[in-house]
Amino acid sequence: MNIAVQVAQVIVAVVLFSVWIVRPRLQTPYRGGDAKNLKEEFAAYGLPNWFMILIGTLKVSAGILLIIGLWFPVVASYTAIGVAILMAGAISMHIKVKDPAVKSFPALTLLILSLLIYFLPIINI
């Protein structure tokens, strides 16, 4: 397996775990609107609390699956598409609340890494 793909998997997984497990209550410069934590961020987007729980569950699960994908690459491939869709949704929420582009940088980075995880093995680079 391509080492770049494995590194991308670990990076995406660690960032997902960091956001949803380590720092959900912490303020970061990338929170949407004027939010100081994840709960406020989802409220700023006009999304209900149950949706935040759903997205968090999906993202933490995706992180776990990306780690499992180090041994079972097909798992990482499918998971990467799911993460790319989630990151496109995150970017669209930043656009919805008219955030400056810099706030979308983490989601854009994870979107690009997820696409690399999916496409690099296909094009065999």
Residue 31 inside a domain? The answer is: no
Q: Say if residues 5 and 125 touch (Cβ distance below 8 Å).
A: no
Residue 60 inside a domain? The answer is: yes
Residue 71 inside a domain? The answer is: yes
Give the number of domains in the chain. Answer: 1
Domain span including residue 62: 3-26+36-123
User: How confident is the model over 61-88, as pLDDT tens digits?
Assistant: 999 999 999 999 999 999 999 999 999 9
Residue 76 inside a domain? The answer is: yes
Residue 15 inside a domain? The answer is: yes
In angstroms, the Cα distances linking 33 to 89, 96, 110, 117, 118 are 15, 10, 20, 30, 31
User: How confident is the model over 43-61, as pLDDT tens digits?
Assistant: 999 999 999 999 999 999 9
In angstroms, the Cα distances linking 107 to 1, 71, 104 are 25, 25, 5
Statement: the pTM of the whole predicted model exceeds 0.75 = yes
Q: How far is CA 16 from the centre of its chain?
A: 6
Q: b or e along 46-65 (b: 16 or more beta carbons within 10 Å of the residue's beta carbon)?
A: ebeeeebeebbebbbebbeb
